Amino acid sequence: MSQYRNIPQHIAIIMDGNGRWAKQRGKDRSEGHFAGMMALRQTVIAAAQKGVKYLTVYAFSTENWGRPQAEVDALMELVCKGVEMNAAELCEQGIKVVVIGERSRFSEKVNDAIERITSQTAAGELMTLVLALNYSSRSEITAAVQSLAKRVAAGELQAEDIDEKTITRSLYTASMPDPDLIIRTSGECRLSNFMMWQASYSEFYFTDVLWPDFGEQALQEAIDAYASRDRRFGLVK
């Protein structure tokens, strides 16, 4: 029973290909994003049922602000809609939602939706769903360096006491394990500024499936591929 062996504790997904999915169907890119939200819903439930403990999804990068305003607006609206459509089920399933990224650039409406979903699901114990919104790895590391520099300047921390643990604890992902498996859909093979510190020893899985077509079966295929990998962490077996 492949689905019960060697389940990654933390899966992170770069959800890519919504635009191409829409284009193939002669639809607007925003429809691709909506279909992507439905795929996320399926994937979240499937991951939780398979025993994954953390599922991180890259939903909006700091670079994505540079897209046409109408698309940015549609994506922001989708955050609110996604909360509205899925809050009850996430609560029922015991899925806790947390958000990583810089929130000050979001409208009040978007921040209210984030606040609502994170507080409503705070008691969930089955799985943690981490939404990366206005996230990038470089901005995360920059914020961490700033916070550490302030602590050193205030005399709370000695520069020579900064080690890998100190840095890990200063990132948005402070309380989470590193991703065991990073999945990227749509055939692109790059990180696009995602979790560069945390991915040091992650396994990578690239699939041509466009994100709106992803679901339980595609997730199982990724988990099966992960299960066959030999993680050595620089050691000799």
Interaction site with ligand IPE (CB under 6 A)? 14-20, 58-61, 64, 75, 186, 188, 190, 192, 211
Catalytic site includes residue 111: no
C-beta of 78 vs 148, nearer to ligand IPE: 78
Rounded to the nearest 5 percent, the helix, strand and coil shares of the chain are: 50, 15, 35
Q: Of the residues 6, 18, 64, 134, which is catalytic?
A: 64
Q: CA distances (Å), 61 to each of 130, 179, 180, in order?
A: 14, 18, 21
Helix (H), strand (E) at residue 128? strand 127-135
Joined tokens for residue 181? 């498996």
Joined tokens for residue 20? 């191409």
Distance of closest approach, residue 13 Cβ to ligand IPE, in angstroms: 8
CB count within 10 Å of CB 223 equals 24
Distance of closest approach, residue 57 Cβ to ligand IPE, in angstroms: 8
- From ligand IPE, Mg ion, none, which one binds at residue 59 (CB under 5 to 8 Å depending on kind)? ligand IPE
C-beta of 29 vs 53, nearer to ligand IPE: 29
Q: Of the residues 16, 134, 178, 180, which is catalytic?
A: 16
C-beta of 188 vs 208, nearer to ligand IPE: 188
Catalytic site includes residue 161: no
Distance of closest approach, residue 24 Cβ to Mg ion, in angstroms: 14
- From ligand IPE, Mg ion, none, which one binds at residue 57 (CB under 5 to 8 Å depending on kind)? none
Give the helix ranges, DSSP H, for 94-215.
108-120, 137-153, 164-170
Per rule CB under 5 A, is residue 180 in the interface with Mg ion? Answer: no
C-beta of 71 vs 224, nearer to ligand IPE: 71
Closest by alpha carbon to 102, among 138, 150, 135? 135
Based on the number of CB atoms within 10 Å of its own CB, is 204 exposed (0-12), middle (13-18) or buried (19 or more)? Answer: middle
Per rule CB under 5 A, is residue 16 in the interface with Mg ion? Answer: yes
75 neighbors 110 (Cβ within 8 angstroms): no
Give contact residues for Mg ion (rule: CB under 5 A). 16
Catalytic machinery residues: 16, 64
